[in-house]
Chain A
């Protein structure tokens, strides 16, 4: 019987609030150590937590986006353990009653779409960081503690063990990553740790009960996630094949050796002594709050995808691509909005350009679409000239290149470039007929080949006409005239 891989993901998304979840200190990344830690964050005696409603609001937004249930009353608990970067000796986290219960996320797999169930999403605070290297030599052999991150709001999103391969896990993580950025609750910056995944991995014979799982902690790139899960699956299968049993434990992935290793031993099995935090009353969310958050929600990717297919005539694949990130979707929508006509051909043109030239140029320049020199209004100016037949595809690409490099100046305007370069596609039938007649006269041999039934000869003639027009002739028109003349 074949092995089946079972994966569930726990994702810590750092919520994009300006201040921390229980204090007024800033959440900005990268400040000098301990400059963004208030009395509450360093847990001075006598200080108390006050919940940041912005964090709650983001959690509600997420719950609505995944069609989960928003608990009208949820509870913050204390998770007790000692660690130097945990100033209070406990982490405030929702335990028994999370803010969001259930929900679903749909991913694309090789076998089509698959719905992944979410267990819950709960609010909690991040811990600080322990610094074991890079400290001044003068302080000696010690570890440093940076509490800037302590108290940063996190939404921990827990999936059911519905994922069946590392590819599915990555697809889920990417989808979730795009979604939290789409709804504006997380900046998605994985290098800075704004989006971190823990993977619970087990294997079983198909149809058998769930195997023992191992948790791989802190996967902060999609590539590492795939590699770590693949390694872990191999390890577990080999272990079982060799007659061993998988021990439930927490493991860390080492990308340099491409392997997972146990993080802490069994003897340290923790009892976190969860209990409701008496400093924080239950979090009560009323219908009016939910209604307000709902009214402020952007159109969600799935809805937009359906709209692109139904109303814009975009194909399924392109629609999925365009809605794979908020940046792409915005770029597309804004470009369409800036065009005079929004019929299906115009939309398709925009889709092709956004997914093609624009994405490629942004990739080459290593810039985001939001920072791209060519913005949707500029692109619309260019595509207007493609749609009205002024520019051929080749001309449009030339103009695009000029606009990209001259962006921000008057010279970056599509019409200005077209005028300056004299790029105007010739669609005038009379002019094209003259060109075609000239080529027919100049190349009797090719004409003869065509007439003898060699279709390829026709293309050669088209090429000669285009060349004679210095690329400015409308290719469709050239084709039509040539066919007529040779008929």
Chain B
């Protein structure tokens, strides 16, 4: 499985057809599904029909860069006519009559939708263990989690089942699984990609974004996904950007000359696994070798990120998930004596434990007498965190650090300890609270052979800068080209079938 950019070149050169690569992708998905469980729904017929249409467009000439590229969407993004489950029993059979904005944009860009990827239920989780459709496994070690909540999207790219996928990032749900599976994931600035058709978890934090193998592919996808959407009142109306614009410039010996990389003390302290710290340190040395300078700085309020996040996100979720009441669509309990019982049984049966936990927490922090102490206070601290970052970006262009404190952990290892699980988000949630862009790129491996992610964060609308730094790093390293064992096995099987 090649990258999006490589496939695009081959498709436009007519050396391969979209039908061929789509069939290859479908075969890989089928083979890997028992091992990885990365998909909830595969749309073979729809994919092949789209691929044929793409081939026709390519034959006519003037096709778009993404025409004919197979893609999968996280199952939290609405796809017209193809079921969208959110990894929940509640929506096990739900088929939307409309496309999410980013889905429509990628469809219009000519991509071929092969299926919907597995995820933590309603995007609530950091391990992909909370899906009603079963845990997703990490292609680097199938006893380990792939991260979450976009775990299926990350595993699918890491295992080379599709060249790229979409995800959504509310507290790290793109970047954390990207880090744990050795791929790239970008959370754009809040408002750059529309939330229309993204089933809301925490509205003020939810951000759609791409997952792919390298920075260039992320840029190509973001070019298609970004744009103002009048159906989302928080969507930003700004001139379109070409996120690949800096990537093709000739690479001087020191391509990162003049780039100032901030290193917050808070990201390099206790709690970071030694192997992760080591890989990140090596990556930072590499960035310096490419010409970047590093600046030590402090983000004093950032230590409150996780508590603030776990007040605001559940609060919004508790309200957002109220619409799943069994009245109009989705799961409804079979037996109930009255309205209250219909609600309580429907929701007791339809939601899993983690979703219920967050609804309870969210309901509590919004309740009368607690609102000021929790929700209001959290929003105030949220502004302090944003101020820390705005100040920091006066001293640096990019902030770097580990994406996660540890590499992928074993399935079940943290399942009984929600707080331990939540601490996995310690480095990622701040970007959601501030709305600033951030991405994770592969930067090495632990001695156990598990990928380590380097997080690059930037100021509002600094996506192009992040992608440029990531691209220069990837020109000098090959972490992003390493293939997981499951991917290799799948490729062999898929090749033999052809």
Question: Cβ of B199 and Cβ of A45 under 8 Å apart?
Answer: yes
Cα–Cα distance between A280 and B234 once the two chains are bound (Å):
7
Q: Are B98 and A39 in contact (CB under 8 A)?
A: yes
B343 near A: Cβ within 8 Å? yes
B363 contacts A by Cβ under 8 Å: yes
Q: Which B residues are in CB contact (< 8 Å) with A39?
A: 97-98
Q: Could you tell me if B366 and A47 are in contact, using CB atoms closer than 8 angstroms? A: no
On whether the beta carbons of A273 and B327 are closer than 8 Å, the reply is no
A-chain residues with CB within 8 Å of residue B375 when the two chains form the complex:
275
Contacts of B318 in A (CB 8 A): 80, 273
A51 within 8 A of B: yes
CA distance A82 to B363 in the complex (A): 13
Known: A84-B327, A273-B366. A278 touches B203 (CB 8 A): yes
Contact A273 B319 (CB under 8 A): yes
User: Is residue B15 contacting chain A, with contact meaning CB distance below 8 A?
Assistant: no
Contacts of B323 in A (CB 8 A): 43, 45, 87-89
Are the C-beta atoms of A48 and B91 separated by less than 8 Å? no
Q: Is A44 an interface residue (CB 8 A)?
A: yes
Chain B: number of interface residues, binned into ranges: 35 or more
- CB-CB contacts of B230-251 with A at 8 A, as 1s and 0s? 1111100000000000000000
Q: Which of B98, B233, B366, B367 is in CB contact (< 8 Å) with A279?
A: B233
Which residues of the partner chain A approach B368 to less than 8 Å between Cβ atoms? 271, 273
Q: Output the nearest chain B residue to A34 by Cβ-Cβ distance.
A: B328
Decide if B84 is an interface residue (CB 8 Å cutoff). Answer: yes
Are B322 and A82 closer than 8 Å at their CB atoms?
A: yes
Contact A46 B198 (CB under 8 A): yes
Given A80-B322, A87-B323, decide whether A271 and B328 contact each other with a Cβ distance below 8 A: no
Contact B328 A42 (CB under 8 A): yes
- Distance of B401 from chain A, by nearest CB (Å): 27
User: What does the 1/0 interface line of B429-444 toward A look like (CB < 8 Å)?
Assistant: 0000000000000000
A47 → chain B closest CB, angstroms = 7
Contact of B84 with A45 in the complex, beta carbons under 8 Å: yes
Contact, CB under 8 Å: A90 / B195: no
**With A and B bound together, what is the CA distance between A42 and B322 in angstroms?**
13
Q: A89-B325, A271-B368, A278-B203 are in contact. Are A46 and B230 (CB under 8 A)?
A: no
What's the least CB distance linking B198 to chain A, in Å? 6
Chain A CB count within 10 A is highest, among B197, B199, B327, for B327
B94: chain A residues at CB < 8 Å are 45
CB distance from A302 to the nearest CB of B (A): 37
| CB of B399, distance to nearest CB on chain A (Å) | 25
* CB of A12 within 8 Å of the partner chain: no
For A198-218 the 0/1 string (1 means CB < 8 A from B) is 000000000000000000000
CB distance from A409 to the nearest CB of B (A): 51
CB-defined interface of A24-65 with B at 8 Å, one 1/0 digit per residue? 000000000000000100111111111100000000000000
CA distance A145 to B328 in the complex (A): 9
**Does chain A have a CB within 8 A of B283?**
no
Give the nearest-CB partner of B100 in chain A: A46
**Closest CB in chain A relative to B75 CB, distance in Å:** 11
Partner among A44, A49, A88 whose Cβ is within 8 Å of the Cβ of B233: A49
Contact A43 B328, beta carbon cutoff 8 Å: yes
Q: Which residues of A contact B (CB under 8 A)?
A: 39, 42-51, 78, 80, 82, 84, 87-90, 145, 271, 273-275, 278-281
CB within 8 Å of A: which residues of B? 77-78, 84, 86, 91, 94, 96-98, 100, 195-200, 202-204, 230-234, 315-316, 318-319, 321-325, 327-329, 339, 343, 363, 366-368, 371, 375
Cβ contacts A to B, 25 pairs, < 8 Å = A43-B328, A44-B98, A44-B329, A45-B200, A45-B323, A46-B100, A46-B199, A47-B197, A48-B195, A49-B233, A50-B231, A50-B233, A78-B319, A80-B322, A80-B366, A87-B327, A89-B319, A89-B325, A271-B367, A273-B318, A273-B366, A275-B375, A278-B204, A279-B203, A281-B234
Name 14 extra pairs, CB < 8 A, besides A45-B94, A280-B233: A39-B98, A45-B199, A46-B197, A47-B197, A48-B195, A48-B233, A80-B318, A82-B343, A84-B325, A87-B327, A89-B319, A89-B325, A278-B203, A279-B233
